[in-house]
Amino acid sequence: LREEVLAEVENAADLAVLEDVRISALGKKGRITGLMKNLGKMDPDQRREFGQTLNAVKDQVAGAIDTRKTALEDAALEARLSGERIDVTLSSRPDETAGRIHPISQTIDEIVSIFGEMGFALAEGPDVEDDFHNFTALNIPPEHPAREMQDTFYLPEREDGSRLVLRTHTSPVQIRTMQNKTPPIRIIAPGRTYRSDSDMTHTPMFHQVEGLVIDKKTHMGHLKGCLLEFVKTYFELDDVPVRYRPSFFPFTEPSAEMDIGCSRKGGELKIGEGDDWLEILGCGMVHPRVLSACGLDPEEYQGFAFGMGIERIAMLKYGIPDLRTFFDTDLRWLKHYGFVP
């Protein structure tokens, strides 16, 4: 019996078979266990001798099972590891799975390079702003209704009672720039902005590019010329349908908004003479109070500023009717608009 069981242990091909062998030998109804039960019927001398032998066999079999078990476990682990091994010498996968620059980032790069050609330098500011830069210095004092106009995301109140905000526009970068540089100033500042708003043309997080030019004689004509030049280059069209509407911003005077002509038919958005307009930016001459708040003398300096919606101009260029889809991370969407092959 001993030889028989030991051979079975040795031949067990996997852990499941080995467990069956163990049960059939040492289990409650096992073969060796069965012999143990006979001990009771034997006379004392016989019982001692047989008992010792039986115990030795039992120990030997149990030991053999343990050894075999360890060996089988090692082999299983080895097999798994070699199956999971990464061959770093393999060539990379075909292009279809390669990442691409997101259309918004591409658009930002394009805008920066177009204004770069016109002599604008790049500026940046933080997404989390303080009240002074996002509002007060922009001639939006506390309790001013313009704070309600933009549905601001506030951070929790700090110990001194003040609250930081997620910047509602890129205009705070105007302030940071004028505080730190003396004119002439010519900057653009692209970045993320946040407002509690969502529909076809709004998302809670979106992108703007701020433009600021401060000099001694810069006027509204320069502003219009600069923006017209930009849209022509960006849309690669000689004739872009634009419209300025008088508007109001606390930080510019006079103020205007610029729309691009387009048509929306059957869920399609197309730039060009159509029956519709899409607002792409707000602009105006920097308010004297804003210049003063930044330590610039309004008697000496003047200039213009604009804040353009980046998703908006990308929608027009690629014919994307719903702004929210930029952030759906849907591969089919990227394919549909030709952003990935």
The β-bridge partners of 271 are: 262
Question: Taking CB positions, which residue lies at the least distance from ligand PHE?
Answer: 307
Shortest gap between Cβ of 171 and ligand PHE (angstroms)? 4
305 near ligand PHE (CB under 6 A): yes
For ligand PHE, the closer CB: 234 or 249: 249
Q: How far apart are CA 67 and CA 238, in angstroms?
A: 84
Residue from the set 172, 190, 191, 284 that interacts with ligand PHE by CB under 6 A: 284
Stretch that binds ligand PHE, among 53-61, 267-275, 279-287, 323-331 (CB under 6 A): 279-287
Tokens of 45: 């001398």
203 near ligand PHE (CB under 6 A): no
Residues contacting residue 114 through CB under 8 Å, at least 6 positions apart: 230, 233, 234
Residue 219, helix vs strand vs coil: coil
252 near ligand PHE (CB under 6 A): yes
Stretch that binds ligand PHE, among 37-45, 66-74, 119-127, 304-312 (CB under 6 A): 304-312
Task: Find the radius of gyration of the CA atoms of the chain.
Answer: 38
For ligand PHE, the closer CB: 65 or 305: 305
The binding track of 60-99 with respect to ligand PHE, each residue x by CB under 6 A or -, is ----------------------------------------
Task: Check if the beta carbon of residue 284 is closer than 8 Å to that of residue 304.
Answer: yes
Number of residues that bind ligand PHE (CB under 6 A): 11
Residue from the set 306, 314, 315, 320 that interacts with ligand PHE by CB under 6 A: 306
Stretch that binds ligand PHE, among 11-19, 113-121, 247-255, 287-295 (CB under 6 A): 247-255
139 near ligand PHE (CB under 6 A): no
> DSSP assignment of 265-333, as one string?
ETTEEEESSSSEEEEEEEEEEEPHHHHHHTT--TTT-EEEEEEEEHHHHHHHHHT---GGGGGS--HHH
Q: Which residue blocks in the chain are alpha helix, DSSP H? A: 2-11, 15-26, 31-38, 44-84, 103-117, 131-134, 146-149, 172-180, 220-235, 288-293, 310-318, 331-336
Tokens of 338: 């030709």
Residues interacting with ligand PHE, by CB under 6 A?
Answer: 169, 171, 249, 252, 255, 282-284, 305-307
